[in-house]
Amino acid sequence: MNAKRVLARCGMGVGMLALGVAAAFASPIVPKPDVSALVEELAQAIRENYVFPDKGEAAAAMLEDNLGQGAYDGLADMELAQRLSTDLREFTKDRHFGVRPAPPRTESESAPTPRNVPTSPFGFNKVERLDGNIGYVDLRGFAPRGLAEPTVHAAMKLLQGSDALIFDLRKNGGGDPGTIQVVCSYLFDPDEPVHLNSLYFRPTDETTEFWTQPEILESEAMPETPIWVLTSSYTFSGGEEFAYNLKTRKRATLIGETTGGGAHPVNGFMVGDHDLVAMIPVGRAINPITGDNWEGKGVAPDVEAPAEEALDIAIAQALEHMAASGEQGKDEQAAWAMVALQAKNGGLPISEDKMLEIAGAYGERLVAVRDGGLWYMRENAGGTWRKLVCIGEDTFVLDGISDFKLVFERGDDGAVTGVTGHYKVRGPDYSAREG
Amino acid sequence: MSTKVFARDRGRASVFVVAAALSLGTTASGQDHADLVHSVTDMLRTRYVLPERAERAALELERRLEEGAYEGIALGEIGPALQRDLREITEDKHFAVAYHPGMYRDLRANPPGAGETEQPAASPDPRAARANLGFTRVERLEGNVGLLRYDEFFSATHSGEKTRAAVELLADCDAVVIDLRANWGGDAAMVALLASYFFDAPEPVLLATAHDRLTGETTRVETDPGAPGRRIASAPVFCVVGANTRSAAEALAYFLRSQGRATTVGARTSGGAHAGYIFPLIENFVMFCPTSRREDAVTGGDWEGEGVPIDVECDEDGAATRAHLLAVEHAMTLGREEDQQSLRDLADALRDALDE
């Protein structure tokens, strides 16, 4: 068996290759070779394939040095894999390096039955239509295009008709650039193909260009829909490519944390005799606009925020964008979705002075200060006191109700003179202050 | 154009509310509304799906009219008053009466059942697009369980592609949870279309027989084996339901359950099994009147008044989690060795969540 057999080409990430590997090998069990043969084999593979020849040579020498000093004596399987991974990553600072135990040999060449393998959503863990008509997708990875394509088209079909899109890549570890290409193709005008990214591969000394696919139907593409992309320090590799592609084309606003910083696609190499799989970075991304990539530095967001806050920020920005669109229906819907979002988040703080300015009688509407908060009651609407949640300058909603808001009005002297109720489903009504 | 809707069309329903609110007290009171009440009782006697109940209700309304119950009621309030009485007397929550000159004019020009029915608009209305044709969320939950949150049955004519896409994302799941807790109903034809994706028989599966008093027709409600796309043919289905699960949403849960294709989880549903149309009355008033009912192909009955039978009764708020747990417990029976521990841990976590 050829020890340097390529298992999977141009994978941009982690954890997406297990199926392909399991299906690719089937041979009788043979005794394990010793550690030194395995490490030498790995060093040679790196020397011949790592994207930067000088650095590959140095990394190979490092492994051979360690071997000579007995650093790997007595190690096998997971322990050996982890030790080799750590040494390679620390030495090269390239997080795409990885060594792990080879998956078990399969008994036969037949494909696993559906019941034996948990099925995958191919990265599309959730597709949701959020309040205000925002299409949201929790995209955890880019599965091999050959498997994932029907899922990609289905997910994009469900996103069509959204007034804004949010791609959540905070848990995205990367994957197949071909799948990234398909998703991106929906986000540009099909009549004007866009050069998204290029990948240079050292083993073939070739550069592959990735362009948007013109075969996406015009009726299905969303070239005008504003996009927000959520990132975290976990976002890696293909996830970063997606974010970087859109950022460099000014097609999306990135919100969150600077990403992990891995721009080198890997090939898988079997070392030893079916003992370990080594992921060796064999290529690098070249963005057509910057001529650069994100290796080692990550993709910086447009709006820096802790990952866990990124979604709320993106929703708020998307709703503000829509509210300002001037498109009838869309702007109103967005404004009300914003009210619901602000109310859900507990509202803004309000000073006691301000509460006292507002408290009073407005016809049937009464506002009182109680327990350090403002409370509201309308006599002909059940007579229940409800807490007011401040969502803006002199603007409030009732706690737990998101289709009604109150805006207090002030005269020239700044004194509160009245209040207008705004309803989602009907026109406003005004009550003048009486006390 | 008259579109048959399972219960009221929500867009129109909200118009009802607005119209009533805006016209409050805008005209002189003092009318006895006799003509209006008689137009309502005529509608009952000739159109309402249950003739005997229609006659009883008509007599009761006429008695209340005689007693002066509607005297002096303002124009903006008589609609809601009649609607309240109709629902109370018939125990059918579908009835609606409203003052709506615009709709009245349109319906006069083109009354329901006048030859053409179910003529869909050329493209889905903007509300349908903004609601993603009802497909609010498609998610892969832990344990390889699919979740579909489906909030409204929009026109089947326009829902095909979204339905197919949602099913594509769910087709490989070991179990599917359909959350219908916020689904008030909608287009009756969409029930059969969505149900089609849960069967893979080459022949249509008869779900129910529909009897329509307006058209006098009896029609088969059946699956479409030719609906394009994949199927969720064997994975168990859990329909999550509650008090706001109405009409067409109840139909889907009821039919799938009686076919042995779904388990219902949650709390008592609304109990509205009648479909109907909006009709013009007189003097700018319009009325939604149920004209048809369904006979389930297996049980022979329906869910009017009683709601959909619930297999696993639980608090509505925790019902989706309960359904997820049931789905995971099913996945554990599939015997995938490598999954057992993670499925057990997941089931424990879901039980803990339910206990809280």
Every domain of chain B and the residues it spans: 126-273+298-355
Mean pLDDT of chain B: 86
Distance between CA atoms of A363 and A379, rounded to whole angstroms? 9
| Percent of chain A with pLDDT strictly greater than 70 | 88
CB contact under 8 A, B131 and A115: no
CATH 2.40.128.50 maps onto chain A at 347-432
Would you say B277 and B4 are in contact if contact means Cβ atoms under 8 Å apart? Answer: yes
Of B281 and B275, which is predicted with more confidence?
B281
What percent of chain A has a predicted confidence (pLDDT) above 90?
63
pLDDT of amino acid A382: 65
Residue of A56 and B3 predicted with greater confidence:
A56
**Residue A347: both structure tokens together:** 């509202």
**Confidence class of residue B6 from pLDDT cuts 50, 70 and 90?**
low
Query: What residues of B are in contact with residue A332 (Cβ under 8 Å)?
Result: none
Any idea which of A26-35, A244-253, A283-292, A329-338 has the lowest mean pLDDT?
A26-35
To the question of pTM greater than 0.90 for the whole model, the response is no
- Average pLDDT of chain A is 86
- Residue B314's Cβ-side half-sphere holds a number of Cα atoms within 13 Å equal to 20
Q: How far apart are CA A236 and CA B97, in angstroms?
A: 58
Q: Indicate the CATH number for domain A114-267+280-323.
A: 3.90.226.10
Between B117 and A338, name the one with better pLDDT. A338
In this model, does residue A110 exceed pLDDT 60?
no
ipTM value greater than 0.85: no
Provide the strand spans (E) within A140-218.
164-168, 174-175, 195-201, 206-211
A118 touches chain B (CB under 8 A): yes
Q: Is the pLDDT reported for residue B22 higher than 60?
A: no
pLDDT at A116 > cutoff 90? no
Distance of CA B215 to the CA centre of its chain: 20
Q: A223-237, B51-65, B335-349: lowest mean pLDDT where?
A: B335-349
Domain B126-273+298-355 has CATH 3.90.226.10: yes
- Band of residue B26 on the pLDDT scale cut at 50, 70, 90: very low
Highest-confidence segment of A114-118, A183-187, A269-273, B271-275: A183-187
Residue B35 vs residue A172, higher pLDDT = A172
- pLDDT band of residue B10 (cuts 50, 70, 90) is very low
Q: Pick from A147, A132, A130, A104: which is nearest to A16 by CA?
A: A147
* Residues on chain B touching A150 (C-beta within 8 angstroms): 168
**Mean pLDDT lowest for which of A124-128, A290-294, A382-386, B234-238?**
A382-386
Q: What is the mean pLDDT of residues B273-286?
A: 87
Most confident of A382-386, B2-6, B76-80: B76-80
pLDDT, position B144:
92
pLDDT tens for each residue of B190-227: 999 999 999 999 999 999 999 988 888 899 999 999 99
Cβ atoms of A13 and A239 closer than 8 Å: yes
Q: Is the dihedral of CA A371, A375, A380, A381 positive or negative?
A: negative
Contact call for A158 and B22, based on CB within 8 A: no
pLDDT above 70: residue B25: no
Q: Which residues pair with B141 in a beta bridge?
A: B145
What digits encode the pLDDT tens for the residues B38-75?
999 999 999 999 999 999 999 999 999 988 888 888 87
State the average pLDDT over residues B239-266.
96
**Residue B4: pLDDT above 60?**
no
Inter-chain touch A114–B172, beta carbons under 8 Å: yes
Lowest model confidence (mean pLDDT) among B28-32, B70-74, B328-332, B337-341: B28-32
Taking one residue from A and the other from B, the number of pairs with CB-CB distance under 8 angstroms is 80
pLDDT of residue A33: 54
Residue A292 in this model has a pLDDT that exceeds 50: yes
Min Cα–Cα distance to chain B from A264, Å: 30
Rounded to a whole number, what is the distance in Å from the CA of B134 to chain A's nearest CA? 9
Q: Angle formed by the axes of helices B75-90 and B10-22, to 10°?
A: 130
Give the pLDDT band (50/70/90) at residue A340: confident
- Tens of pLDDT, residues A161-189: 999 999 999 999 999 999 999 999 999 99
> Looking at the predicted structure, is the pLDDT value of residue A105 above 70?
no
Structure tokens at A142: 């880019």
Enter the tokens of residue B158.
């326009």
Kindly report the nearest CA distance between residue B272 and chain A, in angstroms: 25
Cβ contact (<8 Å) for B173 and A329? no
Residue B165, pLDDT score: 98
Whether the CB-CB separation of B325 and B351 falls below 8 Å is answered with yes
Which range among A114-118, B156-160, B213-217 has the greatest average pLDDT?
A: B156-160
Q: Is B109 on the interface with A (CB under 8 A)?
A: no
Residue A207: other Cβ atoms inside 10 A: 12
Secondary structure of B43-103 in the HEC alphabet? Answer: HHHHHCCCHHHHHHHHHHHHHHHHCCCCCCCCHHHHHHHHHHHHHHHHCCCCCEEEECHHH
* Phi, psi for A215 (deg, rounded to 5): -80, -5
Question: What integer pLDDT is reported at residue A26 of this predicted model?
Answer: 35
pLDDT higher than threshold 80 for residue A24: no
With beta carbons less than 8 A apart as the criterion, state whether A123 and A178 touch. Answer: no
Angle between helix B75-90 and helix B51-66 axes, rounded to 10 deg:
130
DSSP labels, A365-396:
EEEEEETTEEEEEETTTT---EEEEEEETTEE
Tell whether B117 is within 8 A of chain A (Cβ). Answer: no
**Backbone φ/ψ region at B33: left (φ over 0), alpha (ψ -120 to 50), beta:** left
The neighbour count for residue A363, using CB atoms within 10 Å, is: 16
Q: Which chain A positions have a beta carbon within 8 Å of B334's beta carbon?
A: 115
Asked whether the beta carbons of B314 and B266 are under 8 A apart, the reply is yes
Please list the residue range(s) of chain A that carry CATH number 3.90.226.10: 114-267+280-323
Burial B91-107 (b: 16+ CB within 10 A, else e): ebbbbbbbbbeebbebb
Chain A residue whose CA is closest to B137: A128
Check whether B80 has a pLDDT greater than 80.
yes
pLDDT score for B118: 44
CATH architecture entry for A347-432: Beta Barrel (2.40)
Paired residues of B206 in beta bridges? B222
pLDDT of residue A25: 35
